[in-house]
Amino acid sequence: MKATMTEHAEELAIKELEKLMSEGNDPIAVIERSILKGWKTFYVLSDLRKTDDAKITQEQAALESEERRHGLKRDG
């Protein structure tokens, strides 16, 4: 069973969301991202995008390396 947020935690989350909104972040996108990831707080979307892009790049590099190792992909 997951713990519910206290009233104080809810107030802090709302303040954080207001801060992110004032910085130009889409509040709906911020909330949806937090729900999707199971987070109890909010993060700047641009920071998350950089993190996600880095993960994708690392995954692509690993896949390409594996393909080359098995001769599935030809360079050049």
Q: How far apart are CA 62 and CA 49, in angstroms?
A: 20
Q: How far apart are CA 17 and CA 15, in angstroms?
A: 5
Q: How far apart are CA 47 and CA 56, in angstroms?
A: 14
Q: How far apart are CA 63 and CA 6, in angstroms?
A: 44
Same domain as 10, residue 37: yes
- Domain holding 66, by residue range, is 44-76
In this prediction, residue 13 carries a pLDDT of 92
Same domain as 34, residue 5: yes
Q: What is the pLDDT of residues 19-71, one digit of tens each?
A: 999 988 999 999 999 889 888 888 888 755 555 555 555 566 667 667 777 77
Please tell me the pTM assigned to this model.
Answer: 0.54
Q: How far apart are CA 17 and CA 2, in angstroms?
A: 22
Amino acid (1-letter code) at residue 41: T
Total number of domains constituting the chain: 2
Q: What is the pLDDT of residues 11-21, one digit of tens each?
A: 999 999 999 99
